[in-house]
Amino acid sequence: MELSKRQKILLGVATGWPIVYIFIFVLLIFGMIAMSNPGSGGGRELDPLLGGGMLVLFAVHFFTIFLSLALTVFYIVHAVKHQRLDSNMRVVWIILFFFGGMITEPIYWYLEVWKEKGENNPVPQLSPKPASMGQTQDFRSGTYVPPNEPPDWR
């Protein structure tokens, strides 16, 4: 699934919004509580600005919840269809999406969507033989000769 640079930027902004919204939400709630006026008599009177602010906050809150759910579905589908991920990493990312949610999604966006892994930035691969082993025989080559005796495990 290839995305254009603009789509990647919009996806990054959408991915970061739920985290930013948490801080905005907490600040707005405390601000609304601090600005509320105790009315005359035994009850509290609701400031008209506070009531309208709650409606806007309610709408933005539901938008953020649905955006977060949609992003989770998108990232799971993206991980399944992503060509550069091996099957183990697909499973790891999908599990992290379920348990890590909006913390995992920006990390996945940066590592797998934003960063382009091409010829200039290849994924490092482990060599089949460590460099410290030197010239040892490989069982996959035609010159492999098994050891004469089994190792002594005592």
pLDDT > 80? residue 147: no
| pLDDT of res. 34 | 78
Q: What is the pTM of this model?
A: 0.65
Residue 102: DSSP 8-state = T
**Averaged over 10-28, what is the pLDDT?**
92
| pLDDT of res. 87 | 87
35 neighbors 141 (Cβ within 8 angstroms): no
Query: CA 58 to CA 55: how far, in whole Å?
Result: 5
pLDDT bin (cut points 50, 70, 90) of residue 123 is low
User: Which comes out higher in pLDDT, residue 126 or 101?
Assistant: 101
| pLDDT of res. 15 | 94
Query: CA 142 to CA 136: how far, in whole Å?
Result: 13
- Every domain of the chain and the residues it spans: 5-37+46-116
Could you tell me how many helices (H) and strands (E) the chain has, helices first?
Answer: 4, 0
